[in-house]
Amino acid sequence: MTDIAVLFLIGWLTAFATGLGAIPVFFLGERAAAYTPGLTGFAAGLMGVAAVLGLLIPAFQDGSTGVVLGGLAVGVVFLLATREFVRRRDERVAEERRLGASAQRSLLVVLVLFVHSIPEGLAIGTAFASTREGLGLFVILAVALQNVPEGTATALPMLEAGYSRARMFWAAVLTSVPQPFFAVGAFVLVDSVTSLLPASFAFAAGAMLALVAFDLVPESFTREGWRMASVGAAAGGGLMVLLSLALGV
């Protein structure tokens, strides 16, 4: 099996990890919402540490400061611009289809998380192309683990809107469908032009850190949920530090 085929399979496995996050909603129902701040905080801590240890630090080690800062800035702008485009499009679709409040929120969550998965796919492909020992596995595990809370976030508004379990599961998987494709795209590009590796690392790190700062942190660190979010963030960040030590990243 070629590297591209292996990477494509890995990308689908991380996508299906998102579906796992919908399963607790099947059994807990609306009670699962009480754990959302902790789960989102966990994803924020995990992704923030993974972006720094797995992407940003290797970028500075392999590339010049100017290239890394430029890639970082472009990654942030890309995430924010795409996020805004999706929000506006969602509002138009909701108005045209006259969706109810719950269904509209479900559509928004699916589309926003769909955008979130793009930088995650880029991170997987870039890390996979790196020759650093353990880095590819580190980033792959980080993405797979943080996909689980995203699956829960997808399923909760769908439960309120009355969707079936099957639809909740597959909608959660759908939010991560870009991951295998963008992972392969990033890998092919970086593998062909090795000088792009630092910029690609920085771009993925910028997009992921923007995601944490502008989406995950505001969603989890609310007045009511900041304690649970803090515990989740510490657990997610601590897990990534332990993984980095175990893998030698």
Contact 143, 14 (CB under 8 A): yes
Task: Supply the pLDDT for residue 214.
Answer: 85
Please give the model's pTM, rounded to 2 decimal places.
Answer: 0.82
**Interaxial angle between packed helices 3-20 and 165-174, expressed in degrees from 0 to 180 and rounded to the nearest 10:** 140
Task: Supply the pLDDT for residue 81.
Answer: 85
Task: Supply the pLDDT for residue 91.
Answer: 59
Residue 138 to residue 245: CA distance in whole angstroms:
10
Task: Supply the pLDDT for residue 95.
Answer: 56
Interacting residues of 125 by C-beta distance below 8 A, sequence separation 6+? 7, 182, 183, 184, 185, 186, 187, 188, 190
Q: Extract the residue ranges of the chain whose pLDDT is less than 50.
A: 99
Task: Supply the pLDDT for residue 18.
Answer: 92
CA distances from 183 to 4, 9, 21, 191, 219 (A): 9, 10, 21, 12, 27
Task: Supply the pLDDT for residue 181.
Answer: 94
Task: Supply the pLDDT for residue 103.
Answer: 58
Return the structure tokens found at 135. Answer: 């880095």
* 193 three-class SS: coil
Task: Supply the pLDDT for residue 90.
Answer: 59
